[in-house]
Amino acid sequence: MTTENNWVCGDAWRQYVLHTAFWIGSMMGYATSGFLADKYGRKVAVCVLCLVGAVANLLHLLITNPWGLAVARLIAGFGAESVCSTIFVLVIEFTIPDKRTLIGFVWAFSWTVLASSYPWYADLVQSWRGLVVTNTALSIAILIIIVFVPESPSWHLTGGRRDKAIEILKRLGKINGLKELSEEDFNDLQIKSATSIPAKKRTFWKDTFALVATPRLRRITLTLFVGWFLICLCYNANTLELSHLGLDVYGTFSLAILFELPVNIFTILALDRFGRRWPNVSFMFIGGSVSLIMALLRPDSAAATLTMAVITIVCYAGSYNISYQLASEIFPTEIRGRGVLLTRLFGDIGSCLGADVAYLVEYDRYLPLIVLGVLSLSSAVLLFLVPDTVHEPLPQTIEDGENFGKNQGLCFCPLFVKEQPAEEMIMEPKVGSIGHVNPLYDATTQF
């Protein structure tokens, strides 16, 4: 699109406007999809978001005005990112606790494989119109597939639709060859559902302001928000910067994303051993240091440039994965949903501004790397101040959130902490997607 419209020199800013519009649309999608999913169901939300995305992508084929294209990108962003999160919520709500980590790994693995393959597909197609048509086809494919996916039983239960939840569970049990489910099983499920839902009602604004209602929780919340904002900014800007390194853009992007696979494996295997804090801080510190070194040395070697580019994007990806999990663990159950949603919104703001940082390449090829290096090192300092959640029971109340991590020293590391006997450990509740207590987990393990 940039080449076809000759968006170079004085018009180079137009391509960054499109990137910015996309991320603004993504923020709008996150704010809306949560409401749709909670009020009308996960499947309805997925269908609406896919339809919006499909129509928006087709609009690109009919518009030639730059500002019209920006509006189309904004609408496309509305459905692109949020539909992934909504589907992830639906899948997690069918998953028992000891399989959630596996689901997360499969999700990250799928992103790595497809993202590293997509540049070669783009190279094969050699047309941005072909890519938007492909995206439309994928949205239509999701619409067809989602018809065969049952709605979340836990969503039905929390809405008082017990009969529909039972009908879905019976169908799933029959497909999986499980024993016939008795009415006693479902009565037990209903009791667990009723006791799992908090008795007091909260409102949008109460949930939001509860995140900053107490001093320590306020510090943790704001630190994590800003840290996540910087991580997403660095990741998106670094990804856009790959096209300005003087290397083959398809091969560079594909190789850089492919190297995220070992990072995904590392985060799955090592986080319970090393904790969240030290790997998170290390990733951002290394990524920022390499960016600054690259900007100062200004290497002419293509191999050196590619190596440094891969290291930075791998580091930012590792910190992204860790912080995403950290956000779902550190907020109290009462306000976890609101905390995770706002964290994602701050991340989208960072991704949006990442396009502006990448635009600095128009003034100096290495100027974005200097900015990214400084921001990355700043985020490393901030993330060091966030308590580690490894082996900690999930905080339930605002008071729990206020006291969370007080027993950890400044340099706390689980490697040097004596493990508690199993009988002394506090059993944490079974928490479902986006912080909602899932009454189906106990029941499904019995069935």
Domains and CATH numbers, the chain: 8-149 (1.20.1250.20), 154-195 (no CATH), 205-406 (1.20.1250.20)
Q: What do you get for the CA distance between the two ends of the chain, in Å?
A: 54
Which of 311, 315, 317, 318 has the alpha carbon at shortest distance from 294? Answer: 311
**Residues 75 and 26: beta-carbon distance below 8 Å:** no
**Residues 31 and 64: beta-carbon distance below 8 Å:** no
Distances (CA, A) of 368 to 238, 288, 321: 8, 12, 23
Find all residues with CB under 8 Å of 140, minimum gap 6, and list them.
50, 54
- Whether pTM > 0.85 for this model: the answer is no
**Residues 376 and 234: beta-carbon distance below 8 Å:** yes
Strand partners, 437: 431
**DSSP letter assigned to residue 427:** P
Q: Which two tokens stand for residue 338?
A: 């609101």
Model pLDDT for residues 433-443, shown as the tens digit of each residue: 333 333 333 33
The letter for the amino acid at 322 is I
Cβ-based burial of 124 (10 A; exposed 0-12, middle 13-18, buried ≥19): exposed
Instruction: Show the CA angle centred on residue 137, arms to residues 264 and 249, nearest 5°.
Output: 50
Which of 425, 446, 443 has the alpha carbon at shortest distance from 154? Answer: 443
What tens-digit pLDDT sequence spans the chain (447 residues)?
666 665 666 566 677 777 778 878 888 887 777 677 777 888 888 899 889 888 888 888 887 777 888 888 888 888 877 787 778 777 877 776 556 667 767 777 887 888 888 888 888 888 878 888 888 998 899 999 998 888 888 777 767 777 788 788 788 777 877 766 666 666 665 545 444 444 455 555 676 787 888 888 899 899 999 999 999 999 888 877 766 666 666 776 777 777 778 887 887 777 777 888 888 999 999 999 999 998 888 877 777 777 887 888 889 988 888 887 787 778 776 676 667 778 888 888 888 888 788 878 878 888 888 999 999 999 999 999 888 877 777 676 788 878 887 777 777 777 776 654 444 433 344 333 333 333 333 333 333
Residue indicated by tokens 């493990």: 419
**DSSP letter assigned to residue 434:** G
Model pLDDT for residues 349-369, shown as the tens digit of each residue: 888 888 788 878 878 888 888
